[in-house]
Chains A and B, each alone.
Chain A
Amino acid sequence: MTALSPTRSVLALIEEGATSIGDIARRAGLDRGVVDMAVQRLVAQGYLSAVPLAIGCPDEGCGACPSGDGDRPGCGGTPTAGPVMITVVPSRR
């Protein structure tokens, strides 16, 4: 993978099916922190979207969850904790 444009490399690898930051870093020959930052920048620019992936938690927070207590988590966790799901925004491709 070319190092001429780290940003395009990261974007291309996501589109090719890379499934984790470590995987992208390995395949692009970039440091994991660089990939992390590139993803952050792509999200900020609207090329990628990032959704917190709290398994078991509804998207709109604890209010809609049977384990929730009002708007607070009943599970002891926070709705935004955990892994993040990143997808390419089709309109910006």
Chain B
Amino acid sequence: MSNCHAAIAADADAGSPQVALVGNANVGKSTLFNQVSGARQQLGNWPGTTVEVARTDWRPRDPHGHELHLSVVDLPGAASLNPVSPDEQLTHDLLLATDGSERPAVVVAVVDASAIARCLYLLAQIRELPQRVIVALTMVDVATRRGVEVDVAALEAAVGVPVVAVDPRRRSATAVLSGAVARSLAEPAPSPRPVTLADTGIGAVDPFAEDDDRFLWVQSVLDQAMTDRPSDHQTWSDRIDRVATAPVVGPLLFLAVMWLVFQITTTVAAPLQDALDTLVAGPVSDGARTLFSAVGLGGSAVEGFVVDGLVAGVGMLLTFLPLMALMFLLLAVLESSGYLARAAVVTDRAMRAIGLPGRAFLPLIVGFGCNVPAIAATRVLPDAHQRVLTSLLVPFTACSARLTVFVLVGATFFGSNAGNVVFGMYVLSIVLVIGIGLLLRSTLWRTMGAEALVIDLPAYHLPTLNQVTVMTWARVAAFLRTAGGIIVVTVAAVWLVSAIPAPGSGGSLANVPVEDSLFAASAETLAPVFEPAGFGDWHATSALMVGFVAKEAVISSWAQTYAAEEPADAAKPGALGDRLREDFDASSGGHPTAAVFAFLTFLLAYTPCVATLAALNREIGRRWMLASVAISVSTAWVLAVAVFQVGRLLS
């Protein structure tokens, strides 16, 4: 085979009739060409273009035994003769060339029997030309396996040109094709397919008239030539989708699936998390202390930073690794199987029902992974008001960082019901998006129109192990990379502010109890704001302050401040939960459950992180970014107070 990327000769064998293989991508066209050419093909750019084509001389014998001298060219895949790429432009130019000498003598239209409708549109256009055409029907076996039977004789009658069924992988394809080409060359070109432009009654030129004529022709050919096809367009995916995207059952199924994800995540990963917690709080912390004592730094500020800061903060995050990995794995399975795409249909329908723009669901769904790219994804919205509205709603979507805190708090306070609590927060997040959306829509943007939308859903399929593993690992690694960086920085910052004595406390730098530090003092100043919500305690307030930077840091902040209070309490490894429970009990006046729910609600609704604020500033400007902070913080506070007060009355 010669393989040069110089311009290929327009006609390798001057005077030889040219046979052009034309068809959609992936229909077996190049396989057929390889079967015809053997090792004799030339590869190069078509003259005057950068489009690569393959050409070969072909010497088959006609039915009378005479050798034919043909030149065969394999044109790039094209879906239609309405070019949208240089590849399609070449096919268009060659078939519609005004200079007749450049036109092929015979066009072999390669048609995939298993995706015949898509291929027939191109054939409809080719048949409008004064051109000899042969249809090479490929993938007949694949079509049969899918329950699609094509009657070759009926197809030939319907399209008005010869049809030959070929298997491009077999040598017999060459003999079948050569016979058809020889017969075709012996005849004049058939009459072009007449184009009937239906009277639409609209008077002016109908922009759809030509397409409609072709579609009706294709449908007519299919009706004549398809002797068997899946009944009523029903595939397995269609049948599943009748349930999965149904107006009432669809959303319920989606919620049930998400509930199962959180249940499995919290129950299966819990023992692993406990084991890691024991390891970090016990042997790892003890080992680090022993090491510092051995080098003479026992009880020093450095030991405090490393053991009570880095080990406690980063270690706490690591205990959640099995949990995060399992959650990402389950979401990867849902995504790879095609189910998560159905969530888009369900969400879209809900959004349209309440009058929000349908397109807004895309950034909102992205927001359940991370709010930062979700804000950037609002660019898909064509209308500035829609962009602002959606950007204001994105921070209410429960990103994976917030889910981690929900899981920690859920596991600490609610034991085996942790999964239900996390699921409840997830649902509350959806309710908040809809509720705040409706509120903003009815006050700020009453004239915004809804859009029609359709989703080309992929067929369901079983996810492969490799696919799911790669997706899970990539997300776990990305979470650790991002969270790890943020946590190390915030741990250092919190440690530093915790080491500075509050004015009037009497301590010295790096030698002050954490409750007398500047960190605790500043949190205590803010804590009364949260008293009506039942968590007006400096520990909870400081965690929310740190959480303003990034939600992942809430856990490390707690671990750090509680570890710093009782650094030598190795007898109670993993006792963070006990201390949290005690503090919530105290701050809520004996209603810790209501206070915890209020805390989780505040955590869900207030500003996600500084990175999201930066994204908001970039996408919708400083004024709307500040409005977002005001809306989310005030919503969070009002809801948290309401949750606590109602919960207190009920408990």
Contacts and interface: CB of A to CB of B under 8 A. Distances in A.
Contact of A83 (B80, B82, B344, B359): B344
Q: Tell which of B216, B237, B380, B454 has the most Cβ of chain A within 10 Å.
A: B454
Contacts of B374: 58
A20 interface: yes
Interface in A40-63: 40-41, 44-45, 50-51, 53, 55-60
A85 B215 contact: no
A58 B454 CA distance: 20
Interface string A12-35: 001111111111111000111110
Interface string B110-128: 0000011110110000000
A74 interface: yes
B467 interface: yes
Interface residues of B, number: 70
A50 B380 CA distance: 10
Interface size class of A (residues with CB under 8 A): 35 or more
A19 B454 contact: yes
Contact of A36 (B118, B216, B344, B379): B118
Contact of A34 (B79, B117, B208, B238): B117
B281 to A, nearest CB: 29
B245 A19 contact: yes
B142 interface: no
Contacts, number: 190
Contacts of A22: 233, 235, 237-238, 241, 457
B455 A83 contact: yes
B456 A6 contact: no
A15 B452 contact: yes
Secondary structure at the B interface, as helix, strand, loop or mixed, is: helix
Given A36-B118, A55-B344, A59-B377, A86 B215 contact: no
Interface in B456-484: 456-458, 467, 470-471, 474-475, 477-478, 482
A2 B381 CA distance: 32
A49 to B, nearest CB: 8
A80 interface: no
A64 B359 CA distance: 20
B454 A20 contact: yes
B452 A16 contact: yes
B453 interface: yes
B261 interface: no
B362 A65 contact: no
Interface string A54-93: 0111111000111100000011110000111111101000
Nearest to A13: B454
A59 B546 CA distance: 30
B376 interface: yes
Contacts of B349: 17, 19
A64 B373 contact: yes
B465 to A, nearest CB: 12
A20 B457 contact: yes
A66 B215 contact: no
A33 to B, nearest CB: 2
B458 A33 contact: no
28 contacts: A4-B212, A5-B200, A6-B216, A14-B452, A14-B453, A17-B349, A17-B452, A20-B245, A22-B241, A26-B232, A26-B233, A33-B218, A34-B117, A36-B118, A37-B121, A38-B211, A44-B84, A56-B369, A57-B373, A58-B374, A58-B376, A59-B362, A83-B457, A84-B456, A87-B451, A87-B454, A90-B382, A90-B451
List the 10 closest pairs (A to B, CB-CB), nearest first: A33-B117, A58-B373, A76-B470, A6-B215, A7-B208, A67-B478, A15-B452, A83-B341, A84-B456, A59-B377
Given A64-B373, A83-B344, A90-B382, 13 more contacts: A7-B212, A17-B352, A31-B117, A31-B219, A36-B117, A36-B456, A39-B454, A41-B80, A65-B373, A67-B478, A75-B470, A75-B471, A87-B452
Interface of B: 79-80, 82, 84, 115-118, 120-121, 198, 200, 207-208, 211-212, 215-216, 218-219, 222, 232-233, 235, 237-238, 241, 245, 335, 338, 340-341, 343-345, 348-349, 352, 358-359, 362, 365-366, 369-370, 372-374, 376-377, 379-380, 382, 449, 451-458, 467, 470-471, 474-475, 477-478, 482
